[in-house]
Amino acid sequence: LTDCIKVLEMSFSGRNQTFNATTLTNNGFYPNVSLGEFQKLHRVPSNIADDAVENQVSLAMGAVNLALEDTKAKAQWAATEYANLAAIDATDNGNRQRFYRAAVYYRAKAKLLKDFQTFNRRPVAENQATESDEIYKTLIAESRRAMNQLPGIATTINVELL
């Protein structure tokens, strides 16, 4: 982990939004993951503790790495001369690193949503809890979709009426 440096940016609300500049070091094959990028892209509120954000992104990174470890594509990539995902992307102008980060970020956001849900105990929270279960499922599905796109697996099915 690099040192945690705060970066200030103005949000649409007029309040300063603080983003964590920590980068989580990955295993060498998959790209490193930026907590600040995650916070910006997925609009993670600054009032969520940096430790909670870092923990969930780190857990998501491990889960995605583990899920991808046994894939046919990972075995094929390992058998080639490519040292990492960036090298594979460089040969065919691919977006594999982007898909990888999306898989991690969607999973981390889903888990943060579940964490946040446990802190809100007002009566209004009951409706939010049922909505958040659907959002959680959607975010996990997006994470899986991004993982499928890494090796080029189609994530949609086209049907024609004959």
Residue with tokens 């046994």: 70
At 66-93, the pLDDT tens digits run 999 877 777 777 778 788 889 888 887 7
DSSP codes, 78-132? HHSS--SHHHHHHHHT--HHHHHHHHHHHHHHHHHHHHHHHH--STHHHHHHHHH
Please report the pLDDT score of residue 6 as a whole number.
Answer: 43
To the nearest whole percent, how much of the chain has pLDDT over 70?
73
Q: Please state, in angstroms and rounded to a whole number, the distance separating the CA atoms of residues 14 and 34.
A: 24
Question: What pLDDT digit, counting tens, does each position of 23-59 carry?
Answer: 999 999 999 999 999 999 998 887 788 899 999 999 9
The mean predicted confidence, pLDDT, of the chain is 80
- Mean pLDDT of the 91-107 span: 91
Q: CA nearest 149: which of 95, 104, 109, 111?
A: 95
